[in-house]
Structure formats: C-alpha cells, structure tokens
Amino acid sequence: MSMEPPLKGVRVVELTHTILGPSCGMILADLGAEVIKVEPVDGDRTRKLRGFGAGFFGYFNRNKKSLALDADAPEGRKVLEKLLQSADVLIENFAPGSMSKRGLGPEHLEKINPRLVYCALKGFLPGPYEKRPALDEVVQMMGGLAYMTGPSGRPLRAGTSVVDIMGGMFGAFGTVLALKQRDRTGKGGLVESALFESVVFMMGQHLAITAINGAAPPPMPERVSSWAVYEIFNTADDQQVFIGITSDGQWKRFCEVFRQAELAADSRLASNNQRIEARPWLVPKVAEIFKGYTKNEIERLALEADISFAPVARPQDLFDHPHLLANGSLASTTLPGGVKTRLPLLPFQMFGWRPPLVSDPPEIGQHNEAVLAAIGYDERGIAALKSAGMLGPR
C-alpha cells in the first residue's frame, strides 16, 4: 500500500554518535521525518570504527541528510542555531551535561525555539546515577541481563547492541508522543530515554518471577523449562535445530509424524507436567530420534506436525532467508564507500505500509548545500562558510 509517511514535514536535527542516538534518528527518518545529521567536518567518528563496530554507521544512518559543520566555532554555531530555530526535534546522546556546557542544553534551546522537542538519550534517567557514563555492555552487567544470558559465574552480554537499540526506540516513541502533545499545547519540551532503565524494563519478567516464586530465577542456560521438550538438538548432517513442544496436542502430533508409537502410548508422558518429570530420560531419547534426521528432514516433519522449529542460524544466513526476501524485509543498500548489501527495514507494517529505504546512509557533508539553502543561505553565504573551514567535504 502507498501512503504518505506519518512524520512527513517533521524536521529533526541529530547530534549523535554510535548507536543509541542514531537508532532513534533512524526510526524517525524511516517514518518520514527529515533527519539532518550534524557531523564534525571530518565526519562522525563512528564512520571510522573497525571490528565489532564497523557496521554501526552504515546501518543506523539511512534515510538521513548529512551536514558536516564545525558547530563549536562561532560561525558554525550561528548555522546550527539557525537550523535549530527551524527544527521540530533535536536528538542528542552525548555525555551528561556536555550539551549544557556547550550552550545547547534544553534550557538554552527553549529560548530560541520554544516548540522544540528535545530528545536526550543517556545512560540513566534522573536520579543518583544520572551523571555516570554508561555503555550498552555496562548496563547489561548492571541490570542483570548479562547474568541471565551466560551460565553461572560467566556473565555474557547479548549478541547485539540490544539495549542501545531499545533505548533509541523508546526515545523515538517518546518523541512522537511529545510532538502530539505539542500539537495540543504549542510548546515543546524534554524527552528522556536511558540505557539502564531500558534493561531494567526487560528484566521485569524476572522480577515478577522472583516475587511469585519467592526465589530468583537462574541464568537462562540453567533455567527449569516450563516444557519438557524445549531444546537445541544435533542432526544427522551435523547441524543444530531448536525444537519446542509446548502442548499435549503438539506432543501427540510429534509422536504421530515422527512415528514414535511407543512414546505416544507411554502413560508416564501423558501430560506436559509428567513429561517434565521424565526429562532426565526423555530428552536424551528425543535427541536420539532427531539425530537420525537431517536438518531439512526435521524441518519438513516439524511443519507437518505443526510444532515449533528453528535452525540455529548465523547473522549472515539472513541475507538469503527466503521469508525475508519474499516479503521485502531486506532493503538493497549502498554503504559509504560503495559497498552494496541488504539490510533490515523496521519490523512492522501500518495499514499495509512498510517504512521504506528512501536514501542510503550519506557521505560526509553530502547535503551541506541543500540543508543550508533550506534555512536561508545563498550561494555567497555557503561559499563564505566553506572558505572559513566551517563545512566538511562535498
């Protein structure tokens, strides 16, 4: 379905780096906002990351415009303030207090644009820890996620920057709500989202378990499953698959399709709770059954039995996933430097509309002239900023 993007006409100025802020901006950009990423004249430092961070810039900065500007020089500051006067939203995720020290805190910007929604993304919401620096991995440790992910004594961070992304997502959610509130009142204001409170939100189910059971849950590798068959199994072709049999009906269908009449007739396995008690001998028996089939055979039979199945995939396997390719979930993207790939779109549809890729991640200063012209600079003014070294390359 074709429809007008819901945030069309909203101008966002993004002063961010790494993942937390850029993910918030990406969501707003995907929803149709004009997101202007203000970078240093030599580019966002995230562009230069290697190792685990090499994909950060290319993934979290699509659908944005790049203005490479020396915003700390007096001439550059004037440009930034003029841009902010025309903006609906500012996003920033710098260290606590650093924006206020630069004269760009919410108390300063309210004076030049009282309609501005100021989205501050930090490590902690207001409280005793609010001035502490934080990282995704720091709050995974502090909030119990790392403890719950690894086995006892071996806390392990999740395999992606899950808290940065969630913090950015809640920042975007709060920003959209603040824009709606501004429509009612005519005034902008401060929106805050934080890493620590995001991971605590994810730990809520474990807090509830602790309250109900009177004891804290063990890490996930040692958890007591609510279902008897809920495991990773090895296959005949040396692959791994996850199988979850979560109801008595699924157990009956498993026994029928996999031709396990003996298990179907065993009165010790009649209910899920009985099968849980039988896990010490049942799980090895089921593992032996699956070891006799290839991964593709197990998938075919699991679908026939209508039981939950998944191969244990690696991230690179997603490039060619048939479901993602068929429904357009991966958008063809050209990364800075010319690398071509396919990357995920936002994981939702609205009235049949999927937020699309409109533009690839920008080169440094790719939109300098267009952004400056939109806020009133003519060719002579832009040339003067260039000659003064206020603008990055383009």
What CATH number is associated with residue 307? Answer: 3.30.1540.10
pLDDT band of 369, cuts 50, 70, 90 = very high
Could you tell me if residue 210 is inside a domain? no
Same domain, 173 and 235: no
Cα–Cα distance list, 173 to 25, 79, 99, 148 (Å): 11, 28, 22, 27
Q: Residue 205 in 3-state DSSP?
A: helix
Same domain, 53 and 166: yes
The contacts found for 135-142 with CB under 8 angstroms, 24 or more apart, are 135/195, 136/19, 136/20, 136/161, 136/162, 136/163, 136/164, 136/195, 138/195, 139/163, 139/195, 139/196, 139/198, 139/199, 140/199, 142/196, 142/199
Cα–Cα distance list, 115 to 11, 70, 118, 394 (Å): 12, 25, 9, 32
Same domain, 310 and 335: no
For residues 393 and 68, is the Cβ–Cβ distance under 8 A?
Answer: yes
Could you tell me if residue 244 is inside a domain? yes
Same domain, 243 and 104: no
Same domain, 161 and 301: no
306 belongs to the catalytic site = no
Same domain, 160 and 307: no
Mean pLDDT calculated for residue range 238-245:
97
Q: Which of 315, 337, 366 is the last residue before a domain boundary?
A: 315
Domain assignment of residue 292, given as a range: 225-315
Same domain, 341 and 192: yes
Average pLDDT, the chain: 97
Q: What's 187's domain CATH number?
A: 3.40.50.10540
For residues 35 and 8, is the Cβ–Cβ distance under 8 A?
Answer: no
pLDDT band of 1, cuts 50, 70, 90 = low
Same domain, 239 and 198: no
Q: Is the entire prediction scored with pTM above 0.85?
A: yes
Name the nearest CA neighbour of 131 among 196, 186, 63. Answer: 196
Same domain, 177 and 296: no
- pLDDT (tens digit per residue) in 134-143: 999 999 999 9
Mean pLDDT calculated for residue range 344-361:
96
Mean pLDDT calculated for residue range 371-390:
97
Could you tell me if residue 320 is inside a domain? no
Indicate if the pLDDT at residue 2 is higher than 80: no
Same domain, 99 and 240: no
Indicate if the pLDDT at residue 224 is higher than 90: no
Q: What is the dihedral of CA 20, 104, 336, 325, to 10 degrees?
A: 40
pLDDT band of 314, cuts 50, 70, 90 = very high
Same domain, 162 and 250: no
Indicate if the pLDDT at residue 394 is higher than 90: no
pLDDT band of 223, cuts 50, 70, 90 = confident
Could you tell me if residue 209 is inside a domain? no
Q: Which of 252, 280, 315 is the last residue before a domain boundary?
A: 315
Residues 6+ apart with CB under 8 A from 246: 226, 227, 230, 272, 308
Same domain, 265 and 176: no
Q: Which of 88, 164, 238, 306 is catalytic?
A: 164
Question: How many domains in the chain?
Answer: 2
- pLDDT (tens digit per residue) in 82-102: 999 999 999 999 999 999 999
Indicate if the pLDDT at residue 226 is higher than 90: no
Could you tell me if residue 359 is inside a domain? yes
